[in-house]
Amino acid sequence: MELMNTNSPEQARKRIPSQIAIDGPAASGKSTIGERLAKQLGYLYFDTGIMYRAVTLAALRRLGGVGDETAVTDLANKVVIDVLPPTKADGREADVFLDGEDITWDIRTPEVDANVSPVSAYPGVRKAMTAQQRRIGLAGKVVMVGRDIGTVVMPDAELKLYIDASVEERARRRYLECVERGEQVSYPAILSSMQRRDQIDSTRAVAPLKPAEDAVIIQTDNLNEDEVFDRVMALIDPPGGPD
Ligand code: CDP
């Protein structure tokens, strides 16, 4: 499906994909690119990882752990997660609320990192989250970021990207992000937590992390943010391409 976008005269002349799916492993740079792309196109940016993180935080706080699949699934169906435009300029991509409480930074702790992959492997949790994400995707003019967006949530998206990098490079990027926020972290601990998360995310039975068959794979180890962005924009608006 190709929709004509009418945001600006410049864009109106071009066929801009209405649904853009971006997948990839932790800290591959997909959120940064997704956010920038959405801004450029005037689209909604939606980071689905936030929802899995919010359910994980709710389980840690209210159930004392994430091991009880039935209880966690029940919670996933009950909690109200709101993701709203950011109201503070402290590096946040959005304001995140769990049943009305601001949890924007609480979902970024090493404890949530360590528990989010087991939670998101529960089929009932995925079902609840996927249903909400599909509704958002169907409205169009959206850049959605996650692990299964091109394969499961928006399989008909006109543009699918898979942003990748080696685990060592991704751990280095996440380490620098944490240091910038003033957190006490160790590179080896981040690396091993990320390796564990990669392993669970890519081997789970439901919606494992993998590129969709028609995804464009971008390997970012040796590319900076601008270079990745330029590659993505070239796919949307190829130089000398179809007008
Ligand atoms: O920011 P980072 O890449 O570290 O993680 P995230 O995108 O916030 O996702 C956190 C976790 O949620 C992932 O490790 C997956 O286990 C899960 N997730 C998922 O299963 N499906 C999605 N569409 C998005 C996230």
Place of tokens 């109106």: 12
pLDDT at 8: 53
CA of 224 to the centre of ligand 1 (A): 22
Residues 28-77: tens digit of each pLDDT: 999 999 999 999 999 999 999 999 999 999 999 999 999 999 999 999 99
Q: Supply the residue whose CA is at minimum distance from atom 2 of ligand 1.
A: 26
Structure tokens at 39: 């801004």
Residues 207-224: tens digit of each pLDDT: 999 999 999 999 999 999
pLDDT greater than 60 at residue 243: no
Cβ distance 104 to 94 under 8 Å? yes
Structure tokens at 185: 């972290």
pLDDT greater than 90 at residue 155: yes
pLDDT at 45: 95
CA of 1 to the centre of ligand 1 (A): 27
CA separation for the pair 18, 33 (Å, rounded)? 16
Q: Supply the residue whose CA is at minimum distance from atom 21 of ligand 1.
A: 147
Phi and psi torsions of 187, nearest 5°: -60, -45
Query: Where are any strands of DSSP class E within 35-89?
Result: 44-47, 81-84
CA separation for the pair 137, 1 (Å, rounded)? 14
Nearest CA-CA partner of 129 in 114, 112, 149, 155: 149
pLDDT at 93: 84
Inter-helix orientation angle 110-120/123-138, to 10°: 90
pLDDT at 238: 64
Q: Tell which wins on pLDDT, 66 or 238.
A: 66
Average of per-residue pLDDT values in the chain? 91
CA separation for the pair 164, 30 (Å, rounded)? 8
Cβ distance 122 to 68 under 8 Å? no
CA of 171 to the centre of ligand 1 (A): 15
pLDDT at 107: 96
Q: Supply the residue whose CA is at minimum distance from atom 4 of ligand 1.
A: 26
Task: Categorize the per-residue pLDDT at 1 as very low, low, confident or very high, splitting at 50, 70 and 90.
Answer: very low
Three-class DSSP labels, 114-174: HHHHHHHCCHHHHHHHHHHHHHHHHCCCEEEEECCHHHHHCCCCCEEEEEECCHHHHHHHH
Most confident of the ranges 144-153, 173-182, 231-240: 144-153
pLDDT at 4: 45
pTM: 0.90
What domains can you pick out in the chain, each with its CATH number?
16-232 (3.40.50.300)
Q: In the structure, which protein residues have their CB atom closer than 6 angstroms to any atom of ligand 1?
A: 26-27, 48-49, 52-53, 116-117, 120, 146-148, 197, 201
Q: Supply the residue whose CA is at minimum distance from atom 5 of ligand 1.
A: 26
CA separation for the pair 235, 112 (Å, rounded)? 35
Burial of 95 (0-12, 13-18, 19+ CB in 10 A): middle
pLDDT at 49: 97
